[in-house]
Amino acid sequence: MQKDINQTEVAQVLLFIIEYSLALLLKNWGIIPDSMIGHSLGEYVAACVSGVLSLEDALKLVCCRAKFMQQMERGSMVSVSLGKSEVEELLDGCSDVCIAATNSQKHTVISGTFKSVEKIIKIMEQRGISYIKLHVSHAFHSFMMEPMLREYEKILKTVNFNTPTIPYISNLTGNFITVEQAKDPNYYLEHIRKTVCFKEGIDTLSVYKDTIYLEIGPGGLFEDLFWRTTVLVILDVLYR
């Protein structure tokens, strides 16, 4: 039976392949990044380009990660036109909705159960807060991913992690990843569950002047003001 390309276990693998292939193409053209940042799955591309993961191990992790995610209970994600602190106030007392990603100063993504997310949507509509429902099947970067962590940990223990050769940003901290983080299997478990600190990562990179930002992936990162970065996996490469 042919699988839908929009299914998580198919889409994420295809996204990784496209982004990594584009990175190799640029490398063959002599364009080597000084620094990198990936959004969610995009960090796996950055790790592979940096040499932390071999292509074989990266594909193993990406395929298993996507497969396990596909098996999780379905959920909902919404992009909200508010900053992180404002969204935290909005979610106060709602334990079934998490902040999945901070994409920019005024764009934050929430993730959780259908019922609880719909309650938040009604509150936003009453307050006149703009939002966009994301076309995803599951509540990524939320507590709803926790049931897959034990099985994914087993896969992580079969993989070799190496020292990064090109600096890249950690989604967990918004700062450059450390050698200890890059080589720690527990880091990749937290990466599935916790908030993608993409806005913080861009802030870290923005201190560099005279830079060229080259986006590889299917999205329009700067053109659409981060609306789609939680749906379309983006790897942004910084050149100096």
Buried b / exposed e across 29-67, counting CB within 10 Å, b at 16+?
eeeebebbbbbbbbbbbbbbbbebbeeebbbbbbebbbb
Write the DSSP string, 128-175.
Answer: T--EEE---SB--SSGGGGGGHHHHHHHHTTS-----SS-BB-TTTSS
Alpha-helical segments (H) within the chain: 8-28, 42-50, 55-70, 84-90, 114-127, 149-156, 179-182, 185-193, 198-205
Structure tokens at 210: 């005279």
Do 146 and 64 lie in one domain? The reply is yes
**For tokens 């569950």, what's the residue?**
193
Distance between CA 10 and CA 144 in Å, rounded? 20
pLDDT in the model for residue 236: 46
Choice between 220 and 168, residue whose per-residue pLDDT is larger: 168
Choice between 95 and 60, residue whose per-residue pLDDT is larger: 60
Do 59 and 151 lie in one domain? The reply is yes
Do 68 and 87 lie in one domain? The reply is no
Answer yes or no: are the C-beta atoms of 40 and 12 closer than 8 Å.
Answer: no
Do 99 and 174 lie in one domain? The reply is no
- Tell whether the model's pLDDT for residue 117 goes beyond 80: yes
pTM of the prediction? 0.89
Do 44 and 97 lie in one domain? The reply is no
Structure tokens at 50: 């940096």
Indicate which CATH number applies to the domain containing 216.
3.40.366.10
* Mean per-residue pLDDT, 5-27: 86
pLDDT in the model for residue 3: 60
**Domain assignment of residue 162, yes or no:** yes
Angle at 68 between CA 67 and CA 70, to 5 degrees: 65
- Taking only the tens place, the pLDDT of each residue in 169-200 is 999 999 999 999 999 999 999 999 999 999 99
Do 164 and 230 lie in one domain? The reply is yes
Do 62 and 146 lie in one domain? The reply is yes
Do 233 and 154 lie in one domain? The reply is yes
Do 147 and 235 lie in one domain? The reply is yes
Please give the tally of structural domains in the chain.
Answer: 2
Rounded to whole angstroms, what are the CA distances from 38 to 25, 78, 93, 102, 106?
17, 20, 31, 13, 19
| Domain ranges, residue 166 | 8-72+142-239
Do 152 and 233 lie in one domain? The reply is yes
Domain boundary among 112, 133, 154: 133
Do 164 and 223 lie in one domain? The reply is yes
